[in-house]
Structure 1
Amino acid sequence: MTRLSDITSVHWQPALNRDDVVEGIDDIDQSIRIILKTPKGSDPHRPEFGSKLHLYLDMPIQQATPHVVRESVDAIREWEPRCEIVRVIPAIDEARETLRVQWRLADGLIRETEVPR
């Protein structure tokens, strides 16, 4: 378990599903996952937080895909100002869709976060 004195980054948060913290790039990666998996309006303290991806769950994939990409980009731009979105690539495997979010920090390197829906 990480102690508060062990944290070296200004940006950090508790890690999801484990007894630890995430810092720096891992913090941004986890933040993107949280933004896209949180339905807008579900957090009573921040009702505007999250994305509207849940609105497209029952829509046929071909119709939903452009909306899902748009909503993903809008939500990340609004709630994660530390990175620049390069693109969102939906990958469809049978009936399951995964979003691959490519993003960049000031260093110019492109990173990728996968978010299963």
Structure 2
Amino acid sequence: MVTSDVNNLPNRFFQPALSSQVDGHASGLASDRLGELVTDTQDVDQCIRIILTTPKGSDPHRPLFGSNLHLYIDYPVNSARPHIVREAVNALREWEPRIEVVKVTVSLVDVAALACVVEWKFVAGVAEESFMTNLALGTAK
């Protein structure tokens, strides 16, 4: 959706679209999606990605924003899994009040990469529909 009139947006939750994924990682604002907005489930999906990939303390105006998922990337998978699940659930509970986390799954993709899947649903949703956000942790070689 491309619009210049913010007063006539169909949804009250929106944000600029981040650029497409490059090598499994979002590369931030870039010209490939300039002027596009994400709304509804895409907005929440993007917020989840931002919250979970932002290390705590890296935002100078909100030092408590984000999560500590990055601390557990080099742990053995069986040791990292409960920490990643806890960090993801706690960060999303604090920073994304529009959703309820249903399940967080962590699995080994490669020797140097983990896949984290967050299953969530809207708190005030009429339907019991759940959505999934896939997140790559670490670097696949």
Normalization by structure 1: what TM-score? 0.94
Cα-to-partner distance string for 1:23-65 (whole Å, 9 max, x where unaligned) = 1111001000000000011000110100011111221121111
Q: List runs of 5+ in structure 2 lacking aligned partners.
A: 20-32
- Paired residues, what number? 117
Give 1:97's aligned residue: 114
Taking the TM superposition and a 5 Å limit, the aligned residue runs for 1:15-94 are: 15-17=17-19, 18-19=33-34, 20-94=36-110
Q: Please provide the CA RMSD for this pair.
A: 1.3
Give 1:9's aligned residue: 11
User: How many angstroms does 1:110 deviate by?
Assistant: 0.7
Distance (whole Å) between structure 1 residues aligned to residue 53 and residue 96 of structure 2? 14
Distance (whole Å) between structure 2 residues aligned to residue 61 and residue 47 of structure 1? 28
Is the 2:73–2:114 Cα contact (8 Å) retained in structure 1?
A: no
Distance (whole Å) between structure 1 residues aligned to residue 85 and residue 2 of structure 2? 36
Larger Cα Rg: Structure 1 or Structure 2?
2
Distance (whole Å) between structure 1 residues aligned to residue 75 and residue 109 of structure 2? 16
Give 2:136's aligned residue: 116
Cα-to-partner distance string for 1:60-94 (whole Å, 9 max, x where unaligned) = 12111110011001001110000110010112112
Percent identical pairs in the alignment equals 46
Q: List runs of 5+ in structure 1 lacking aligned partners.
A: none
Is the 2:56–2:68 Cα contact (8 Å) retained in structure 1?
A: yes
One-letter code aligned to 1:98:
A
One-letter code aligned to 1:30:
Q
User: How many angstroms does 1:108 deviate by?
Assistant: 1.3
Give 2:29's aligned residue: none
In structure 2, the residue corresponding to 1:76 is in which secondary structure? helix
Normalization by structure 2: what TM-score? 0.78
Is the 2:118–2:134 Cα contact (8 Å) retained in structure 1?
A: yes
